[in-house]
Amino acid sequence: ATEALRKAEERAVAGRLALEVMHEVKNPLEALGHLTYLALQEADYPEKVRKYLLQAEEQMENLSHIARQTLGFSQQMEKPRPVDLVAVAEAAIRIHQRVIEEKRIHLVKDLREGAIAQVFTGEMLQVVSNLIVNALDALPAEGILRLRVRKRKNEVDFVIADNGHGIPAQHKEALFQPFFTTKTDKGTGLGLALSKRIIERHNGRIRVRSSIRPGKSGTAFKISLPLRWR
Ligand code: ADP
């Protein structure tokens, strides 16, 4: 499982890169789509040119599809295996170590071993990584990021909490919907939607608590998964 986790970690780094690239690619791709559409409205050019434009439009569809797929680090071939969520937490921390240090974030690790769940390691790492990215985005310099892993009676819990700016009540409905984002520059609005889908596929739940009260603001996402009995 350690080897699987290490591979998943590598893919996670690649996944983040893909996300950044995808964001750079999205706008010009959209512009191309609009331009082709507009060009196709013009009637007075040879049939041949029309055909080429239609083909270009088709290829852009393909590109969009690939971009959407690249968003996941999941690979089809992976099998679910028993993994201690503490190991997932440690791997996720390593991925974001640089930003954590640069922002001088106070990382509080409250990780108790034995929280074993049956998971697709790559997918679970992606979820935790997404939640950490969101927390880091919400946190000011020297903010607090808290990770907690616990084994319960029939479940395992993973909490990612920050004392960042929090989420206004009117956004809570939309949070898990694809493309909802408040990040004007770099948001895709896909992180939470994707995370929720992955957790539900693992028969788990993901819940959020948040406050925007000045001085007491912050957000906690809690993932619960069925405990895997050895
Ligand atoms: P993105 O990060 O690309 O915006 P997400 O689906 O991951 O997409 O998040 C959607 C939105 O939820 C964010 O734009 C932000 O407004 C809000 N959000 C998520 N996590 C947090 C958090 N920890 N603190 C404050 N707001 C958050």
Question: Which pLDDT does position 146 carry in this prediction?
Answer: 98
Interatomic CA distance for residues 226 and 27, integer angstroms: 40
Q: Is 189 in the pocket of ligand 1 (CB under 6 A)?
A: yes
Residue type, 220: A
Interatomic CA distance for residues 167 and 192, integer angstroms: 13
pTM of the predicted structure, to 2 decimals: 0.74
Ligand 1 centroid vs 171 CA: distance in angstroms? Answer: 10
Q: Is the pLDDT of residue 88 over 90?
A: yes
DSSP H/E element including 17: helix 2-41
For residues 158-182, give the mean pLDDT.
93
> Residue 151 phi/psi, 5° resolution?
-95, 130
**Ligand 1 pocket: which of 105, 147, 181 to mutate (most atoms within 8 A of CB):** 181
- Beta strand 218-226 with 144-151 is unpaired
- What does pLDDT average to over the chain? 86
CB within 8 Å of 162: residues ≥ 6 apart: 135, 136, 138, 139, 143, 144, 145, 146, 218, 219, 220
Ligand 1 centroid vs 223 CA: distance in angstroms? Answer: 16
The answer to whether residues 128 and 73 touch, using CB atoms and an 8 Å cutoff, is no
Structure tokens at 55: 């083909």
For residues 197-202, give the mean pLDDT.
90
Interatomic CA distance for residues 25 and 10, integer angstroms: 22
Question: Which pLDDT does position 74 carry in this prediction?
Answer: 44
- Beta strand 144-151 with 106-111 is parallel
pLDDT digit string, tens, across residues 127-165: 998 999 999 999 999 999 999 999 999 999 999 999 999
pLDDT digit string, tens, across residues 53-83: 888 887 877 776 666 555 554 444 467 899 9
Bridge partners of 106, per DSSP, are: 144
**Ligand 1 pocket: which of 192, 196, 211 to mutate (most atoms within 8 A of CB):** 192
Q: Is the pLDDT of residue 225 over 90?
A: yes
Question: Which pLDDT does position 155 carry in this prediction?
Answer: 97
Interatomic CA distance for residues 26 and 30, integer angstroms: 6
In this predicted model, which residue has the larger pLDDT, 219 or 99?
A: 219
